[in-house]
């Protein structure tokens, strides 16, 4: 295992502390709940938006906390959903009279914690609702889920409802908007290498030098099939042939096109995939409204990529273009 | 070699085309010179700023072209400086009456091309000047350079002079500002793994599972020493012990602190390093003005990181905080 690491058990708290220190006072860190939250936590004028899946998917979700995105994120350990008390205490600490919106990626561990947490919050009289993200078309059920998994499309859900919340939207309006984004986003990915959780110390799975995993999960869980590695052109075909007919995306549609790196793939390769996907979509009459190329939801140091397509309308476009201010920035 | 790739010889043109397509019209691509440049190329009211080192270091330099940063970038092939004609034609195409500023990282191949290119431009009556970036304290001379190498600190030089150029600064003022940034920035890095250029197909160097290369170059060239892998705390000590006394950075100084990923290291590990470095600097009385955590200058898929420190004054701070608009963005 070759990582920048002290005690593997302190990996999550140490990088979370780094996020707080790097924020220049914009973010606070509460170690008891692995919680990163806005220091300028808004008052009761704004619905609070929270998330917390496993760690190991950074920048999701602790690095996209800030104005116009999440108000707080409370991940569990690497590839482990947060305990129920993280969920409850986060909601209580960041509670707003306008309500709390949980955005949950569809994994059994995450759902259990967030559903139980929601019940406990409701029992205390809190106003709380939930969005369930399930954009991954690779598998119907998986080793980690009943139903489709939530992956990189989660970013679009947070960006849209985060922007709407800043504009003063009510909880029910955010749920309606979030469900629209979820209904219109589809994702699938391919892995070229495995990854190694710090406390485990060995790769999650083995994959041969000439193989790829089609429809990979973000915890190394299997996808559709293990095949020989093929060219980038063929890989984009495999992904778009799964994604495009699923909605379906049709000629005349406008989309946001994301190429998400899984952690170990250089951004040059992501742009190479982007160019191919953009041209193949144009040939189908599907127009890219805006591009997203980089790391949005990773799997530690895994080499691989997702392609995500989000069909946009005027409302979604406005929310995607709205300003935001998060730790995950270039300058 | 596990990469998203078609023909290895087409790797650079294909990812450059992806950058153009992803830009939504903001950037243009001229394949003859591997040139990415601003579609809204300003008139003669602004000094033109150009760069072009080897490819394989993305987002440097083709993904940081845009308002407030570079006006154009014309890289060579992977880890190869641009040919002289790229340099000359880029300067001619983007020429401004206020002049052209070349920002060159100190590698023998790059310097030869840019110096010869400058002479040819001057012979045609163009106003042109050069900044030479050499922030890497690891080695005095290297297999690729006479003098220190230019690495991640290059980002700060571009950010500062790019912002000043947008505000209307003259060529000589930009050179003065750029030299001040270069005089105040220091960097060193450590690699945990090697990397594989696409047309070569095999790793650039071998490194054992329990080893790290201290003072690595961004083309895999050797640094100070090969040692056993140590903890993140010890790694930060090694880097700061080389960087801090070199300027020297002193109690009371304000700095920009960058932790740059070399391509294969997850951002969670970069934030872990950041937190350690921030605290160690605070203990020395050195205050972080602003953090930069992510990938700025990579070496393909190499796992590793640089730490860069830039001592800031009021002028540099203003330029670092000025707006910019580049392809390398989150949303």
* Each residue's pLDDT tens digit, B142-201: 777 778 999 999 999 999 999 999 999 999 999 999 999 999 999 999 999 999 999 999
Shared domain check, A139 and A49? yes
In the listed set B183, B203, B237, which residue is the last one of a domain according to the structure? Answer: B183
CA distances to A27, A173, B50, B54 from B104, in Å: 36, 52, 9, 11
**For B35-69, b where at least 16 C-beta lie within 10 A, e where not — what string?**
bbbbeeebeeebbbbbbbbbbbbbbbbbbbbbbbb
Query: What does the pLDDT average to over B11-38?
Result: 98
Q: Give the minimum alpha-carbon distance from B126 to chain A in angstroms, rounded to a whole number.
A: 32
* DSSP-assigned letter for residue A83: P
Which of chain A's residues have a Cβ under 8 Å away from the Cβ of B320? Answer: 331
| Chain A interface includes B187 (CB < 8 A) | no
| Chain A interface includes B9 (CB < 8 A) | no
Is residue B242 included in any domain, yes or no?
A: yes
Q: Give the minimum alpha-carbon distance from B306 to chain A in angstroms, rounded to a whole number.
A: 12
Q: Which residues pair with B306 in a beta bridge?
A: B189, B260
Yes or no, beta carbons of B330 and A329 under 8 Å apart:
yes
Shared domain check, B78 and B140? yes
Instruction: Kindly list the catalytic residues of B.
Output: 57, 219
Shared domain check, A150 and A51? yes
* Contacting B residues, span 54-93, partner chain A, CB-CB under 8 Å: 55-56, 58-59, 63
CA B101 – CA A127 distance, rounded (Å): 58
Yes or no, beta carbons of B58 and A265 under 8 Å apart:
no
Shared domain check, A106 and A49? yes
CA A75 – CA A36 distance, rounded (Å): 9
Q: What is the H or E stretch that residue B309 is in?
A: strand B304-311
Q: What is the H or E stretch that residue A35 is in?
A: strand A35-38
Shared domain check, B31 and B135? yes
Burial of A141 (C-beta count, 10 Å sphere; 0-12/13-18/19+): exposed
Which of chain B's residues have a Cβ under 8 Å away from the Cβ of A16? Answer: 271
Which of chain A's residues have a Cβ under 8 Å away from the Cβ of B59? Answer: 267, 330
| Chain B interface includes A290 (CB < 8 A) | yes
Question: B213-258 pLDDT, tens per residue?
Answer: 999 999 988 889 999 999 999 999 999 999 999 999 999 999 999 9
| Chain A interface includes B205 (CB < 8 A) | no
pLDDT score of A140: 84
Shared domain check, A25 and A142? yes
User: Which domain, by its residues, includes A294?
Assistant: 185-321
Reported ipTM exceeds the 0.85 cut = yes
In the listed set B168, B183, B198, which residue is the last one of a domain according to the structure? Answer: B183
Shared domain check, A75 and A212? no
- The crossing angle, in degrees rounded to 10, of helices B171-183 and B314-321 is 100
Shared domain check, B19 and B57? yes
Yes or no, beta carbons of B18 and A273 under 8 Å apart:
yes
Give the count of beta carbons closer than 10 Å to the beta carbon of residue B9.
11
Is residue B326 included in any domain, yes or no?
A: no
Shared domain check, A215 and A297? yes
Question: B244-255 pLDDT, tens per residue?
Answer: 999 999 999 999
CATH of the domain at A250: 3.30.1180.20
Q: Give the minimum alpha-carbon distance from A126 to chain B in angstroms, rounded to a whole number.
A: 32
Contact A21, B236 (CB under 8 A): no
CA distances to A136, B52, B77, B96 from B33, in Å: 39, 10, 11, 19
pLDDT truncated to tens, each residue of chain A (331 aa)?
Answer: 999 999 999 999 999 999 999 999 999 999 999 999 999 987 789 999 999 999 999 999 999 999 999 999 999 999 999 999 999 999 999 999 999 999 999 999 999 999 999 999 999 999 999 999 999 999 887 777 778 999 999 999 999 999 999 999 999 999 999 999 999 999 999 999 999 999 999 999 999 999 999 999 999 888 899 999 999 999 999 999 999 999 999 999 999 999 999 999 999 999 999 999 999 999 999 999 999 999 999 999 999 999 999 999 999 999 999 999 999 999 9
pLDDT score of B145: 74
Shared domain check, A295 and A252? yes
Q: State phi, psi for B171 to the nearest 5 degrees.
A: -55, -45
* Contacting B residues, span 97-126, partner chain A, CB-CB under 8 Å: none
Shared domain check, A123 and A193? no
Yes or no, beta carbons of A264 and B266 under 8 Å apart:
yes
| Chain A interface includes B31 (CB < 8 A) | no
* DSSP-assigned letter for residue A153: T
Is residue B128 included in any domain, yes or no?
A: yes
| Chain B interface includes A129 (CB < 8 A) | no
Among candidate residues B304, B136, B294, B141, the one with its CA nearest the CA of residue B207: B304
In chain A, how many domains are there?
Answer: 2
Is residue B331 included in any domain, yes or no?
A: no
| Chain A interface includes B293 (CB < 8 A) | yes
CATH of the domain at B143: 3.40.50.10440
Yes or no, beta carbons of B56 and A22 under 8 Å apart:
no
In the listed set B132, B165, B183, which residue is the last one of a domain according to the structure? Answer: B183
Yes or no, beta carbons of B24 and A192 under 8 Å apart:
no
Shared domain check, A286 and A164? no
Yes or no, beta carbons of A272 and B301 under 8 Å apart:
no
CA distances to A35, A53, A184, B44, B261 from B95, in Å: 51, 50, 45, 8, 33
């Amino acid at each position: 295992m070759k990582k920048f690491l002290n005690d593997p058990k302190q990996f999550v708290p140490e990088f979370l502390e780094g996020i707080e220190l790097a924020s220049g006072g914009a973010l606070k860190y509460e170690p008891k709940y692995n919680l990163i939250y806005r220091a300028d936590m808004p008052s009761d004028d704004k619905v609070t938006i929270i998330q917390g899946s496993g760690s190991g998917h950074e920048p999701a979700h602790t690095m996209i906390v800030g104005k116009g995105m999440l108000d707080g994120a409370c991940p569990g350990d690497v590839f482990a959903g947060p305990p129920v008390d993280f969920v409850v205490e986060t909601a209580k600490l960041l509670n707003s009279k306008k309500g709390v919106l949980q955005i949950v990626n569809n994994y059994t561990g995450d759902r259990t914690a967030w559903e139980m947490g929601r019940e406990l919050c409701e029992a205390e009289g809190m106003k709380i609702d939930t969005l369930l993200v399930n954009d991954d078309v690779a598998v119907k059920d998986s080793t980690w889920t009943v139903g489709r998994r939530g992956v990189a499309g989660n970013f679009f859900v947070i960006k849209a409802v985060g922007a709407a919340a800043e504009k003063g939207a009510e909880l029910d309006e955010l749920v309606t908007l979030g469900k629209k984004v979820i209904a219109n986003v589809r994702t699938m990915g391919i892995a070229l290498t495995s990854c190694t959780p710090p406390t485990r110390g060995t790769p999650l799975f083995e994959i041969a030098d000439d193989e790829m995993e089609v429809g990979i999960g973000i915890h190394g869980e299997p996808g559709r099939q293990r095949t020989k590695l093929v060219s980038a052109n063929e890989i984009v075909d495999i992904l778009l042939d799964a994604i495009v007919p699923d909605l379906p995306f049709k000629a005349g549609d406008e989309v946001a096109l994301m190429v998400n790196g899984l952690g170990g793939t250089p951004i040059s390769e992501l742009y190479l995939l982007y160019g191919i996907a953009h041209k193949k979509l144009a040939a189908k009459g599907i127009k890219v409204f805006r591009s997203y190329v980089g790391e949005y939801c990773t799997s530690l140091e895994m080499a691989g990529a997702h392609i995500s397509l989000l069909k946009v309308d005027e409302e979604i476009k406005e929310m995607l273009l709205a300003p935001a201010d998060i730790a995950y920035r270039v300058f």
